[in-house]
Amino acid sequence: MIDISESVMQFLLAFTVVAPLLGAAAALLPAPPGLKGKSPEQAVLRHGVTVTGAVLIAVIVLALGFDHDQPSKMQATTDISWIPALDVRIHLGTDGISLPLLVLTALLTFLCALYSYFKPPAGPAPKAFVALLLVLESGTLATFAVLDLILFFLAFETVLIPMYFLIARWGGEGRARAAWRFVLYTLLGSVVMLLGLLLTGLEAGTFDMVALATDNGRSLTTSVQVIAVLAIGIGLAVKTPMWPLHSWLPDAHTAAPTVGSVLLAGVLLKMGTYGFVRILLPAAPDGFRTFAPYLAAFAVVGIIYGSLACLALAKRGANGDLKRLIAYSSVGHMGFVLLGIATMTPTGVNGALFANIAHGLITGLLFFLVGGLKERTGSTALDTLAEETGAALYGKAPRLGGLLAFGAVASLGLPGLAGFWGEMLALFGAFEPAEGLSRPAFLTFMAAGAFGTLLTAAYLLVVVRRVCMGAAPDEAPELTDVRGYEFAAWTPLVVLTVVAGLWPKALLGLTDPAVQQLLAGGTR
Amino acid sequence: MSSLVQSVDWLAIAPPTIAAVAGLAVLVADLFVPGTRKPLLGRLSVAALAAATLMLLPLLDADRGTFCLVGDPGVCSYTADRFTLVIQFLVLGGALLAALLSVTALKDDNRRLPEGEYWFLLLSSAAGAALLPASRDLATLVVALEVASLPAFALVGLRHGDRRSSEAALKFFLSSVTATAVTLLGISFVYAVTGTLHLGLLAERIQDADGQLGTLAQTGVVLTLIGFAFKTAAVPFHFWVPDTYVGAPLPVAAYLSVIGKAVGFSGLILVTVRAFPSYADVWGPAVAVLAALTMTAGNVGALRQQAARAHSAVRLLAWSSVGQAGYLLVPIAAAAYATEPQRAIGSTLAYALMYGAVNLGAFAVAAVVGRTQPLNRVSDYRGLYAASPLTALLLAFFLLCLAGLPPGVVGLFAKVTVFSAAVDAGLGWLAVVMAVNVVIALVYYLKWTALLFRAPEGAPATHRLPAPLTAALAVTGVLGVALSGAPQLILRFTDTGLF
């Protein structure tokens, strides 16, 4: 949109990846004179806001400088040799597929830092918290920005340790166990993924994602592709998470602090689906075609399973937990993303990428809201909240109740909001899957997925009824309504949800050309 | 008439020679130095090891050989090529760090350890270990192996009046002697078949050995390997490790965990890749199975350690070093199948260099904590971050390097090269076994790391840092961080010719 020279663009992209790392190191050092603030805690939390804010500005400028006429072209590319022995290059770049994810990551991390500044997390001193948050941001941004398989793996692994500590030290009940499950599941998946990445790279003779995409699997035999897709796919599927590898997710979300849940759902899960699109689809299309029906089947089971689990949790007397419920709903939403990818059509993959962003915005918002609710009422257990008739949030704290209802309605995919387009396009892709995939099978998946949207609507409406509505007893204490800083942290998500819902072309215009080219064989 | 006296390239043999001469000098000086001045011996030894390490520098320009056959100058018993220099660097540098740890340990021990003998034994063992990678005939190899390990037995049992120490030494000694005897038997078989001990000639002649001697040759190869497998503490020769490490003074345990391994695997590489390449179908699968069993046994053993047991920190490091030895064996196994065995061997070297730096670092932190908490339990590390943040961060970094997770980038890339050697050689099953092991290992490394940052129970113990320990921590820490930024420094060995 605005003309920025290529070298500045390169710097901006490199800056977004490196700045949080430097910021994390700086957070551990004592504050320099003049920046000491009121207390060391306040100073370090402010440092977090400053760094993530700077990164967000850099990403926004990057998005503005991005040549929107050629979203399929890799832009802001840096390509330096790092470890010649392993043929590992520091190859950074962004195109229409990764740019929205970069913006989403920078935005959510900034909002989390902002939220934590006003509402410091309960637990040990915030110094380490800020450092871990920044390392996490660097790892996620790097995952979306790198174009080298080994570097991708490195970035993928970088988020593990910070997230482990965020859950294990600042989490709620059962945090130790949940953190262990998270880290073990993901690591088991990612070592298998490493084997797949190595196999792909060694057989194809390059670890460069652009070269692999251009090659489009021509230098890999079908059997190599099948093994590679299986190995890499398992690693990515654990992260996504795909049913039946999802069982770490509900525990991790329930135990994680609010900010941890927001980032976990908002950006970490996207690393898995992004890997499917960026690596597997273009680099090993034959192998992917073999597994696409199974992937779609698992995805659809995930959709149905996630919504049934939510329905069960939302029932009265089921002792359901709101955070857990949203976690299960994530399994369902990510099921749509996987279904879209499995169709191997531009429509489906575009839908998947759209749903990715939408899920990041909406679920991020929902976790923020539930965190706010927990802070006010001290509980996220539905039965405790709702008691006999309902929690009557509309009466006690109308704005909070309204926002929660908005989040729930957006999550169920109401047309006009962000949740709608992704799921619709994914189902639409399944209506006519790519050549070589069985149409009847995908039609079945589509029908089951469509049924899943119905179930999703059902449980979210039950939640709205039980939390927002109900008879407010007269003597019930008023709850604090949405505070200023909460508005600041949540409004961008609300606005973007509406914008993406009303003007989907803003996103699809970016992703579509890139996806078309990726499926046809490589990025330029 | 040509001279029968071999010309000796003194520069080439300088590194092991300096260590050996210094060892003798320390032993003699011990007689004349009064009790109060004994720390002087330690300084002398540290200086000698530093000098020996520095003497590697002039050898970098070209390959050198000495003690060559008079009739055939191409066949030498001592060769200082790239492979030799890398291992010598690892051995001498590792011994230097272990010596730095020893200076403090000896001072804290109030003369229960005889200083003169201690330094003599350490230097002799280091000299043997430095000679081993350079030896290119089986006789020199066995002599070097014995020079490296015999002083080690004495070091383990040196602590007077400590029953565990003596028992460990005896275990170590008996199993090692058995292994050496078996190796010697194997070598005699091989000599019977080929009539030479020089590795280069062996490799040629054993191929066209008399058909009737085939069984003899094969038996010889297998028996020779067994001895070297023992030194790497490969399964089933690993059981001596935990007791030995716990019984030995901590710096000796650190020394054995790195130099002991280096001796074992460099000998194994010389025997397999240099002497018996034509028997790759025999030793390839054997080493692969050995690697799988070793890493599994080591990691499961480490996983089962209870944090509250006495000496559990050293015990855990001991078991994990068995696991790491398994990873070191993977590329050697891969060399049997690969078209370019040198690349695979390079992965072992890269991994060993990474492992040497960070493992010695972890031992250095254990030495720091062991000064105030003599039981050295894993649970004693709880709240270390509150007591001394930098030490705790360093230990966390070392442990994550060993686990192979960011921010321990160098550990991750070292694992990646090992994996890629296995995948490249088509050893998919071994790669999968290793992948599972990496996850098992993560559990205990991460548990320990997480413990460092927990709130301390009661008032945090203060840990004072004496200068030698600080130096050891600084060197290993800087190495680890620098290598994480530029892994190419060690990974380039996977890309260049070694021999």
Asked if B417's CB is within 8 angstroms of A86's CB, the reply is yes
| Each residue's pLDDT tens digit, A310-352 | 999 988 878 888 899 999 999 999 999 999 999 999 999 999 9
| Each residue's pLDDT tens digit, B1-27 | 456 666 788 888 999 999 999 999 999
Which of A371-375, B34-38, B119-123, B198-202 is predicted least confidently?
B34-38
In a domain, B36, yes or no: no
Query: A95 vs chain B: nearest CA distance in angstroms?
Result: 26
- CA distance readout (Å), A412 to A367, A407, A453, A457: 15, 9, 7, 5
A86, A154, A195 member nearest B432 (Cβ): A195
Which chain B residues are within 8 Å of A85, Cβ to Cβ?
346, 417, 488, 491-495
Give the sign of the dihedral formed by CA A423, CA A427, CA A432, CA A436.
positive
d(CA A64, CA A305): 40
Using only C-alpha atoms, chain B has a radius of gyration, in whole angstroms, of 22
**Residues B497, B342: contact at Cβ < 8 Å?**
yes
Q: Give the CA diameter of chain B.
A: 81
Q: Around Cβ A57, how many Cβ atoms within 10 Å?
A: 14
**Which residue, B342, B85, B402, B490, is CA-closest to A83?**
B490
Residues of chain B whose C-beta is under 8 A from some C-beta in A?
346, 400, 405-407, 409, 412-413, 416-417, 419-420, 423-424, 428, 431-432, 435-436, 438-439, 442-443, 446, 450, 453, 455, 487-488, 491-495
* Mutation target among A175, A197, A198 for the B interface, most CBs of B within 10 A: A198
d(CA B359, CA B251): 12
Where do we find the tokens 């009422």? A377
The angle, 0 to 180 degrees and rounded to 10, between the axes of the packed helices B115-131 and B138-156 is 150
In a domain, B305, yes or no: yes
User: What global pTM score does this model have?
Assistant: 0.92
**Tokens for A297?**
């089947």
- The whole domain housing B286 covers 279-499
In a domain, B452, yes or no: yes
What was the pLDDT predicted at B8? 83
Domain count, chain B: 1
Query: B497 vs chain A: nearest CA distance in angstroms?
Result: 12
pLDDT at residue B320 is higher than 50 = yes
**Which residue, A356, A385, A422, is CA-closest to A98?**
A356
Q: Around Cβ A64, how many Cβ atoms within 10 Å?
A: 12
Where do we find the tokens 């000896």? B106
A165, A168, A202 member nearest B420 (Cβ): A202
In a domain, B1, yes or no: no
What was the pLDDT predicted at A524? 47
Using only C-alpha atoms, chain A has a radius of gyration, in whole angstroms, of 22
Give the sign of the dihedral formed by CA A356, CA A360, CA A366, CA A371.
positive
In a domain, B320, yes or no: yes
Ranges assigned E (strand) in B9-132: 64-68, 76-80
3-class DSSP assignment, residue B161: coil
Chain B residue nearest residue A197, CA to CA? B420
Asked if A191's CB is within 8 angstroms of B488's CB, the reply is no
**Residues A116, B446: contact at Cβ < 8 Å?**
no
| Each residue's pLDDT tens digit, B257-299 | 999 888 888 988 998 888 888 888 888 898 899 899 999 999 9
Q: Give the CA diameter of chain A.
A: 73
| Each residue's pLDDT tens digit, B221-253 | 888 887 777 766 666 667 777 777 777 888 998
Phi-psi region of B111 (alpha: psi -120 to 50; beta: other; left: phi over 0): left
Where do we find the tokens 């030793």? B283
Asked if A195's CB is within 8 angstroms of B431's CB, the reply is yes
In a domain, B185, yes or no: no
Those residues with Cβ within 8 angstroms of residue A141's Cβ, 6 or more apart along the chain or in another chain: A16, A17, A20, A55, A102, A105, A106
Give A446-450 contacts, CB < 8 A, sequence gap 24+. A448/A300, A448/A303, A448/A304, A449/A299, A449/A300, A449/A303, A449/A335, A449/A336, A449/A339, A449/A423
What was the pLDDT predicted at A473? 67
What was the pLDDT predicted at B496? 75
| Each residue's pLDDT tens digit, B417-436 | 999 899 888 898 999 999 99
Single-letter amino acid code for the residue at B336: A
d(CA B158, CA B166): 8
Those residues with Cβ within 8 angstroms of residue B425's Cβ, 6 or more apart along the chain or in another chain: B333, B334, B335, B336, B337, B338, B344
CA A52 to chain centre: 17
**Percentage of chain B modeled with pLDDT above 90:** 38
What was the pLDDT predicted at B232? 65
Q: Around Cβ B32, how many Cβ atoms within 10 Å?
A: 7
d(CA B46, CA B98): 9
**Residues B132, B199: contact at Cβ < 8 Å?**
no
Q: Report the first-to-last Cα separation within chain B, whole angstroms.
A: 32
What was the pLDDT predicted at B1? 45
The more confidently predicted of residues B215 and A447 is: A447
Which chain B residues are within 8 Å of A169, Cβ to Cβ?
453
A154, A158, A198 member nearest B420 (Cβ): A198
Q: Which residues of chain A have pLDDT under 50?
A: 523-524
Q: Which residues of B417-452 are buried (b: 16+ CB within 10 A; e: fewer)?
A: bbbbbbbbbebeebbbbbbbbbbbbbbbbbbbbbbb
